[in-house]
Amino acid sequence: MECFSMVRSRALLGLEAPAVTVEVHLTNGLPSFTLVGLADTEVKEARERVRSAIQNSGLRFPTSQRITVNLAPADLPKDSGRFDLPIALGILAASGQIDAGALEGWEFAGELSLGGELRAVRGALAMSLALSLGQAHGRLVLPVASAAEAALVPDTEVYGARHLLDVVQRFAPAGAAPAEAADAPPSGWSRVGASPVAGQVPYPDLADVKGQASAKRALEIAAAGGHSLLMVGPPGSGKSMLAQRFAGLLPPMTQAEALESAAIASLVGRFSTDRWAVRGVASPHHSASAVALVGGGCEFHL
């Protein structure tokens, strides 16, 4: 007996989130679980997480069949645990425990614990942005901890789930009653709406700086005209103090600027909704090299 299913997800490639199709094939033969498609080590470890999450959720894992999972396209690098949820759903769909046809038009991402709980993933905002730019309307399912930032993208349909069973129950075949884990939350599935809070964190005030009249005048001109600014001086002359107050002189961020800034912070797992539309300030060490300044060792505060 052979069964096949496909589940949509997305990888991360810089600020882009290219589409990935998780293909699952179940067939009779020597029991095995093979994962292919240029997967990094943490993706390959999904085999053990998915197996335990399915079994501990009271669902059936096909231990007596040969399981082959392909992450397409094969030449696109995949990393992190974001593919745990789509792999689990693909296995459940191929084994008939959820409706494979109902998964069409949905995209999934989320890391699974051994008990089936869903953990946050990086780059949720980038995934939502990529989905909103696509021609076909799609819906995105993420862990609750990541769904709030993904919902900040306008005109997107984002759902949050706390447990694997929340997603399974949503896509269960008609008339089926999936098993429930003893420690699973009763109702973790919900649609998440955007609720941005703009500019709640105050910027350092330039009025607090005593003296430095020429430097403050230069900051005001650069902010008003949108000019670049280079401050040169000995240590302790006030360059960092002035630079930290420069963001407060700039106009409020537009929707596009806020999304771009939040997407960058989301890639490194440092975004929070209370920092929405707040300009970030990079503080590299004075000994940082040119390579470090463009991403090799700069600390980004958001």
Q: How many domains does the chain have?
A: 2
State whether 162 and 218 are in the same domain.
Answer: no
- Quick check: is 200 in a domain? no
State whether 225 and 187 are in the same domain.
Answer: no
Say what the pLDDT of residue 302 is. 45
- Quick check: is 198 in a domain? no
Say what the pLDDT of residue 222 is. 94
Say what the pLDDT of residue 299 is. 47
Q: Which domain holds residue 94?
A: 3-192
Summarize pLDDT for 83-136 with one digit per residue, the tens: 999 999 999 999 999 999 999 999 999 999 999 999 999 999 999 988 988 756
CATH number at residue 11: 3.30.230.10
Write down the pTM of the prediction.
0.81
State whether 173 and 266 are in the same domain.
Answer: no
- Quick check: is 135 in a domain? yes
Among the candidates 160, 192, 224, a domain finishes at 192
State whether 40 and 163 are in the same domain.
Answer: yes
State whether 92 and 174 are in the same domain.
Answer: yes
CA gyration radius for the chain?
23
State whether 113 and 223 are in the same domain.
Answer: no
Nearest to 198 by CA among 270, 124, 255: 255
- Quick check: is 197 in a domain? no
State whether 88 and 48 are in the same domain.
Answer: yes
Q: Which residues of the chain have pLDDT under 70?
A: 1-2, 135-137, 175-187, 195-201, 295-302
State whether 213 and 172 are in the same domain.
Answer: no
- Quick check: is 108 in a domain? yes
- Quick check: is 287 in a domain? yes
Nearest to 117 by CA among 58, 186, 183: 183
Among the candidates 192, 217, 237, a domain finishes at 192
State whether 25 and 113 are in the same domain.
Answer: yes
- Quick check: is 250 in a domain? yes
Among the candidates 192, 220, 245, a domain finishes at 192
State whether 220 and 257 are in the same domain.
Answer: yes
State whether 7 and 146 are in the same domain.
Answer: yes
- Quick check: is 201 in a domain? no
State whether 223 and 145 are in the same domain.
Answer: no
